[in-house]
Structure 1
Amino acid sequence: MSEIRIEEASADRFDDVEHALTGGGDGASCWCQWWMLRAKDFSAASRDERREMLRRDLEAPVPSALIAYVDDEPAGWVKVSARTDQPRLARTRNLQQSPQPFDDPSVWAITCFVVRREHRGGGVANRLLDAAVNHARTRGARIVEAYPIDTEATKASSNELFHGALSSFLDAGFTEVARPAPARPIVSPALA
């Protein structure tokens, strides 16, 4: 059985970040900047520019993401940080139904998953989700939100599941707090 371990992403682990993000999905083009930039700025930035933006993000004192390792190989990624550090969230109409104020830095958001193709189906995303909640909790989060896709309400390709699947969040103890669109709930766990 493979060993899965989770570590905080940082600039000094950027080779591992790069490996985790480039094995499937849109990680190699987005570089986890979708929620960081306005739509026009995201479109105007090249892949290389977004890659360097991520490198700078990972120099911050509070890690904004985690890396999953399977038998010491970087295998997955999850973005988890204060919503105030992900400014596009506040400008996204579907998320305006969040019961939490957008200017509250104690509200954190889990916004992006990438699991390399060869490691899908092995529990990597579930381990990343559990670790993301714990990371947010230990860094002072009062609330953690996520914005998964309800695959019972719509079909979604693996690329579209970068938000995560609702079923995974429900299995991890999250509950739905709002449903701004038929297939796009807002979920949150209890952080006792």
Structure 2
Amino acid sequence: MNNISVHKLTPDMAEQYVAYFDNRAFSDGSEQKGCYCVWHHWTEQKEAERSALPENERPFSKRNYAYELVKNGRLNGFVAISGGEIVGFCNADLKENYFRHSRENDPESWEGIDSDSKVLAIVCYIVAPDMRGMGIADSLLEYACGYAEENGFDYIEGYPSDGAFDARNCGGTDSMYIKREFQIGHAGSRIIARRKLGN
């Protein structure tokens, strides 16, 4: 792990970000290739726009949207870098910034949280196939915890995978959270790992 560093994703990394998803993130041929980790921002309107495109342009819509989101500072998180290249990504942001996790669209997951609380939500980990098993997701979570503490968040939460940790079940393992004293609970059928920060 000595040659891997973790950093906040910044708008100037937009090109590098989409290149990671183009070439490295799913180089094992996973069916999730092409996700660009935009699902949590993907609205019905975006899907309608994509469906209206000519068929040959549809595969690029998520790529272009991801580039635009990163460039505009609206797709956030942390990247693991090795040899100057992204080898892992953790999608994390203020919880209400995610369309799918807003209070309106996901009220169950907000139970027990005050209306003025600032929550850092970690929605996904994507580690390059050739770099898996090296503790990169764990390092990304560790960095996220430090970031949340330093930036005045009241809570940090993640959504651990129920069962095998793979490209479609990309929330990390519950053990990653348990060892950092997150409380494990449920919102409907989903697992939520949450830790209160500060006093």
Q: TM-score, with normalisation over the residues of structure 2?
A: 0.77
Q: Which runs of 5+ in 1 are unaligned?
A: none
Match for 2:41 among 21, 36, 40?
36
Partner of 2:178: 170
Q: Deviations over 1:44-86 (max 9, x none)?
A: 5334222222222223458711110124331000111011110
> How big is the shift at 1:101?
5.1
The CA distance in 1 between the partners of 2:109 and 2:11, in whole Å, is 34
The CA distance in 2 between the partners of 1:44 and 1:105, in whole Å, is 34
Q: Matches of residues 1-192 of structure 1 in structure 2 within 5 Å?
A: 2-22=2-22, 23-24=25-26, 25=30, 28-38=33-43, 41-42=46-47, 45=50, 46-60=58-72, 64-90=76-102, 96-100=108-112, 104=116, 106-151=118-163, 156=164, 158-181=166-189, 184-192=190-198
Would you identify which runs of 4 or more consecutive aligned residues in structure 1 move more than 6 Å?
Answer: none
User: Which segment is superposed worse, 32-41 or 123-132?
Assistant: 32-41
> How big is the shift at 1:19?
3.8
In structure 2, relative to structure 1, the CA distance for the partners of 1:50 and 1:63 (3 Å cut) is closer
- Is the contact made by 2:99 and 2:105 (CA closer than 8 Å) also made in structure 1? no
Equivalenced residues, count: 185
- Is the contact made by 1:33 and 1:42 (CA closer than 8 Å) also made in structure 2? no
> How big is the shift at 1:138?
2.9
- Is the contact made by 1:98 and 1:186 (CA closer than 8 Å) also made in structure 2? no
In structure 2, relative to structure 1, the CA distance for the partners of 1:50 and 1:166 (3 Å cut) is same
Q: Which runs of 5+ in 2 are unaligned?
A: 51-57
User: Which segment is superposed worse, 156-165 or 41-50?
Assistant: 41-50
One-letter amino acid of the structure 1 residue matched with residue 158 of structure 2: A
Secondary structure of the structure 1 residue equivalent to 2:68? helix
The CA distance in 1 between the partners of 2:43 and 2:73, in whole Å, is 24
Percent of aligned positions that are identical: 20
Q: TM-score, with normalisation over the residues of structure 1?
A: 0.80
RMSD: 2.8
Q: Of the two, which has the highest radius of gyration? A: 2
